[in-house]
Amino acid sequence: MFGTIYSQIGTIVLIAAFAFALWKGDAAERVGGGLNLAAGLFAMFLHPLLSPDIQPVALLGVDAALAAGFLFLAIRFASLWLGAAMMLQAVQFSLHAYYMVAEIPHNLLFARINNIDTLGIVIAIVGGTAVSWRRRVRKRRLEAQKAAAAASEG
């Protein structure tokens, strides 16, 4: 669960990305951040409680649910960050499927690929949030300039 400093940092990063998406993101970023946080928390808290026979199937199911959630969001909102998150989630799903089918125990290579991929998804969510936040700021600034120009003419 929280056996290492890396898992603690990972949890903080997931929560921080979700908080940033809630604070400054649009609907797609909020839902995407929430889905990613829910998947990460499942992997951290419930995964160790499951029997070793069920763990790979549970991880694959969580990956499939997260990929389906990103797919739904991509169809609904058509955003570049969602495309990146979907592709990274496909890599993660493939990684878990490969290790499950080949019956390879999780090793250091698995952990590194999994963590880098998860970080990439978090970066996609944070990047999407920053872009939507910037777009809203720019739109408000243009509206204020138009209102000021209209007031000075009238």
pTM for this one?
Answer: 0.88
Any idea what the Cα angle at residue 111 is, between residues 105 and 115, rounded to 5°? 150
What are the two backbone dihedrals, phi and then psi, of residue 33, each rounded to the nearest 5 degrees? -65, -40
Q: Per-residue confidence of the chain (154 residues) as pLDDT tens digits? A: 556 888 888 889 999 999 999 999 999 999 999 999 999 988 888 777 888 888 888 889 999 999 999 999 999 998 899 999 999 999 999 999 999 999 998 899 998 999 999 999 999 999 999 999 999 999 999 999 998 888 888 6
Any idea what the Cα angle at residue 48 is, between residues 30 and 8, rounded to 5°? 55
Residue 89 contacts residue 120 (beta carbons within 8 Å): no
